[in-house]
Structure 1
Amino acid sequence: MSKMNPKEWASQVIVQEEIDKYLVGGKDFIDEDEIFQKLSENESPSPDRIRAILKKSLSIKRLDPDETAALLNVKDPDLITEMEETALAVKRKVYDNRIVFFAPLYCSNLCVNSCLYCGFRKDNSKEKRRTLSMDEIRRETEHVIDEGHKRMIVVYGEHPLSDADYMAESIKAVYSVQRKSKNGNGDGRIRRVNINAAPMRTSDLKKLAEIGIGTYQVFQETYHKDTYSRIHPEGPKSDYRWRLYALHRAMDAGIDDLAIGALFGLYDWKFEVMGLLYHTMDLERQFGIGPHTISFPRLTEAIGSDLSTNSKYIVSDEEFKRIVTVLRLSVPYTGLIVTAREKPGIKKEVIKLGCTQTDASTNIDIGGYSETVKEETADTQQFTLGETRSLDEVIGEVADMGMISSFCTAGYRCGRTGDKIMNLLTECVEGKFCKLNAILTFKEYLEDYASEKTRLVGEKLIQKEMEEVRQIPFFKQHNLVEKLEEYYERISNGERDLYL
């Protein structure tokens, strides 16, 4: 952990040559004039053209900027309905009908940046600052595990007290925790830690690669350069390109599972969708793989931030649904994450549009999962949550929708990351393993943590899923039906963490 003065530390974060190496002719991959031109030229797409684009998306081919811009500009309600139906069909073709659950853990709200929309910004006097110790991280992890979670994303402010060494130590702390399950049928632990952290130099990213992180998530926030400059006035985050190429550096450091996103409400939503597409395209161009997930959080109220409630670009629910629909169609192989920023009603609607992951039982206070410290940590949230229900409640709702909940981490531990998982996703093979592992991990949850109500609806759904597996030729040809039934029986008899 760095002992350096925060201002001095911040001045040394950015390494210019680790930006310049990715530029083409001195330019980055966001050409704003080109984006505006694409949106203008595709302003009135014909129904036939839209249906041809939908057909391409269903073949699990990434759309190009003109095609994506055309989808963004559709106004006909019937065509929009066709787009939404196709989006769900694409999701099911690639990922089947499961929803992966995770929990965030906020470790620190100290920050050297001054982002105008964020409660963590360094000049926000209303924010109560705290960095969790390793013992506190272990205690927080215990509470997360006791809800039934197996996946965690750990979140850090950008500060010398939460540098790469602190991150590595905190990830070890999370992995070290084991708990007896709620119903006493098994042992609980976090099987995969992903991180949301500030851009780092390649040498620091290598430390995280060595410790065994899952996905590295960095959101550009906004791809519009003037807006970016205005709302990031100070700190390393004020450098647009340092952030823009954060995931390129991660690839060079050996982290091949990447997550991008934008904070919708800072600038025009159509422009931001196009920015996410161009980001995807440049990762594909330079490394041969795109992002594993894309996130699309909306701006919500943050303590001490006027921008968080007064932005002229606030996204409506209907616009939000279009964002999710177009992203699913534009980058059909990627996972889509809808977060607890969203209220239950709209969250349920966009899950039906092709989302693959969500969080539940979420608490974003620093130390907020531990009831003994909850009252002491008021005013430590980065933003306002819309979804505050327990994991069990959300899983029950998802099951009522006919979707199976998954806690699978098999892909990471079987080496299905990077180009391997991208090939399996575009060939619609990974989703078949997702289906099997969703059944197994959902069975674990029902045995170990579920309420009686959720267990009953969940068991019926599992039997339906297993019957589908028995009828699908792929599973028969690869002897996976027998393996699934064997593992299912072993889990029923008390074994845990079996995966394919």
Structure 2
Amino acid sequence: MTAEQTTATWLDPAAIAATLAEAGREDKGRIREILAKAALLGGLDATDVAVLSQVRDPDLVAELFHTAERAKTEIYGQRIVLFAPLYFSNICTNECVYCAFRRSNRDLVRKILTLEEIAAEAAALIDQGHKRVLLIGGEAFPKDGFRYILDAISTIYGVKRERGEIRRINVNLAPLSTDEFRLLKGAGIGTYQLFQETYDRELYGRVHVDGRKADFDWRATAIDRAMNAGIDDVGLGVLFGLGDWRFEMLALMQHISHLEDVFGVGCHTISVPRMEPAVGSEMASHPPHPVSDDDFKKIVAVLRLAVPYTGLIMSTRETAEMRRATFALGVSQISGGSRTNPGGYATPEDEDAAQFERGDHRDLDAVVRDIAEGGRIPSFCTACYRMGRTGHDFMDLARPGLIREMCGPNGLSSFAEYLLDYGSEETRAAGDRAIDAEIASMEPRIRRYSETMVAKVRAGKRDVFR
């Protein structure tokens, strides 16, 4: 076990500033050398990221995007993993000026779900076709404290419907103690997510004015405590729009490098939320450092090349058009049919209870059909978590390209299951075409696995994976 990390000593703003300054003006030769390096799928260092983040020339941007698409396809194929957030509460003890959930916001209808209501939410999500959820909420627990979260996880796993169940729960929770993280690991979670929001200490202090979240280091060292507790799949992220996105990207790289140095493996996922309007927050509607659509696409592409084997997550903050555009740039996971207010699936409520305004209001069936019509494979697979392919074991398979031998067939079988049990007629037709095309493109050995597994699903077997 590694020593307990209590201060984010790995964060070096001066080094970031120097790296950005050194990147200088556009140098086509240098940029193309970095893109050639990125195409080898070995990742990029901070200097490489700084150089690519400053690309402006349209031809070079096109080359950046093309390289990111090739990298994403090489590692993940055409799969897009789907999940849904399940908000247990919008009650929070923190005072974060950009968030609708902040303690002083009187414009928000407050609610914390009972375990019975959580079960109803899980049932509603299962009936949509979801197999994977992200448990999330305001940074406050009811009178039972942290035990409430453990009971909520047990409750969700315990919901069984005629056509399925939730097979994996990921969580996005306030920083915990190491002992609490051990309990979370024992509850059977998949990935633990925590976003620093901004790595700029001065800015962090200005936007997190009260509550436990105001402690920058308690939050920045939470992933260390989680990994010390045995949680080897962790997710990072920043809230793009708070600080300068170039600084945030390099700070994120420092965080990842720290995890790799200490634990031998970095983050399993990176989320790329961009600030969206939120009830009762002027800042949310007018971000301090707004990120344009063009720069946002660049963020996705550069991250894909910098940490090629890391999953990139796009939420429903973004529009359907933006989400669709980023599939080719590196995004590998998205939420579908999401609600960001507690109780929003079983008993839809007013958006005044939501954390932020959604950009994509489509239901899951429409999202799945759109992905399939674009020639990609919506995946509901949870096999890696249940087979123990996490942390080092996942990376040992991912880096030589072996993970595709599992993920390709598993994605197809889970998609076939969704189509048969939940898909509309139009979505089934689009999905069957996408499955047939994907199988036809596979090399013979993986094609045989895929054909066999999809045939089992179509014959009535469920939860087919390898």
TM-score (norm 2): 0.97
Pairing partner for 1:264 from 240, 244, 250? 240
Deviations along 1:169-206, one digit per CA (max 9) or x if unpaired, are 101111111112xxxxxx21110000010111101111
Q: How does 1:259-298 map to 2 (within 5 A)?
A: 259-298=235-274
From 232, 238, 244, the equivalent of 2:220 is 244
> How far does residue 363 in structure 1 lie from its aligned partner after superposition?
0.7
Does residue 436 (structure 1) correspond to residue 409 (structure 2)? The answer is yes
Q: Secondary structure, in 3 states, of the residue corresponding to 1:233? A: strand
Distance 1:44 1:387 in 2: 36
Which position in structure 2 is the counterpart of 1:140?
121
User: In structure 2, what is the Cα distance between the partners aligned to 1:45 and 1:417?
Assistant: 39
Is residue 153 of structure 2 the alignment partner of residue 177 of structure 1?
Answer: no
* Residue pairs, 1:395-474, within 5 angstroms: 395-469=368-442, 471-472=443-444
Q: Give the 3-state SS of the residue equivalent to 2:84 in structure 1.
A: strand
Secondary structure of 1:353's aligned partner: coil
Cross-structure match for 1:152:
133
Q: Which of 168, 180, 187 pairs up with 2:150?
A: 168
Distance in 2 of aligned mates of 1:247 and 1:34: 22
Counterpart residue type for residue 252 of structure 2: L
What amino acid sits opposite 2:464 in the alignment?
L
- Cα shift at 1:485: 2.8
Aligned twin of 1:105:
86
Once residues 29 and 212 of structure 1 are traced to their aligned partners in structure 2, the CA distance between those partners, rounded to angstroms, is 30
1:47 aligns with 2:28: yes
CA distance in 2, matches of 1:300, 1:47: 34
| Alignment-derived partner of residue 315 in structure 2 | 339
Distance 2:287 2:365 in 1: 35
Match of 1:15 in 2: none
Q: Counterpart of 2:352 in structure 1: which amino acid?
A: D
**Conserved in 1, the CA contact under 8 Å of 2:89 and 2:112?**
yes
One-letter amino acid of the counterpart of residue 50, structure 1: I
In structure 2, runs of 5+ residues without a counterpart are none
Report the AA paired with residue 226 of structure 2. A
Distance 2:412 2:303 in 1: 27
Q: Give the structure 2 partner of residue 5 of structure 1.
A: none
Distance in 1 (alpha carbons) for counterparts of 2:8 and 2:271: 25
Check if 1:391 corresponds to 2:364: yes
C-alpha distance in 1, partners of 2:400/2:359?
36
Query: How many angstroms does 1:380 deviate by?
Result: 1.2
Aligned to 1:489: 455
Contact 2:2/2:262 (<8 A) preserved: no
| CA displacement at 1:387 relative to structure 2 | 0.6
RMSD: 1.7
SS in 2 for 1:194: strand
Structure 1: segments with no counterpart, 5+ residues: 1-17, 181-186
Whole-Å separation in 2 of the counterparts to 1:249 and 1:211: 16
1:65 aligns with 2:46: yes
TM-score, length-normalised on structure 1?
A: 0.90
- Letter of the structure 1 residue corresponding to residue 14 of structure 2: D
- Deviation of residue 426 (structure 1)? 1.7
Percent identity, aligned pairs only, is 42
* CA displacement at 1:27 relative to structure 2: 6.0
Report the equivalent of 1:21: 4
Is 1:31 equivalent to 2:12 in the alignment?
Answer: yes
Q: Deviations over 1:189-230 (max 9, x none)?
A: 110000010111101111110010000000000011100010
CA distance in structure 2 between the partners assigned to 1:165 and 1:27 by the alignment: 28
Aligned pairs for 1:310-349 within 5 A: 310-349=286-325
2:194 pairs, out of 184, 195, 218, with: 218
Q: Is the 8 A contact 2:409 2:449 kept in 1?
A: no
Q: Using the alignment, how far apart are the partners of 1:19 and 1:121 within structure 2? A: 34
- Secondary structure (helix, strand or coil) at the match of 1:129 reads coil
Give yes or no for contact 1:93–1:431 (8 Å, CA) kept in 2: no
Letter in 1 for 2:51: A
User: Could you tell me how far apart the structure 2 residues matched to 1:29 and 1:109 are?
Assistant: 32
Q: Is the 8 A contact 1:408 1:438 kept in 2?
A: yes
Change over 3 Å in CA distance of 1:257–1:77 after alignment to 2: same
Query: Aligned runs of 1:2-17 on 2, under 5 Å?
Result: none
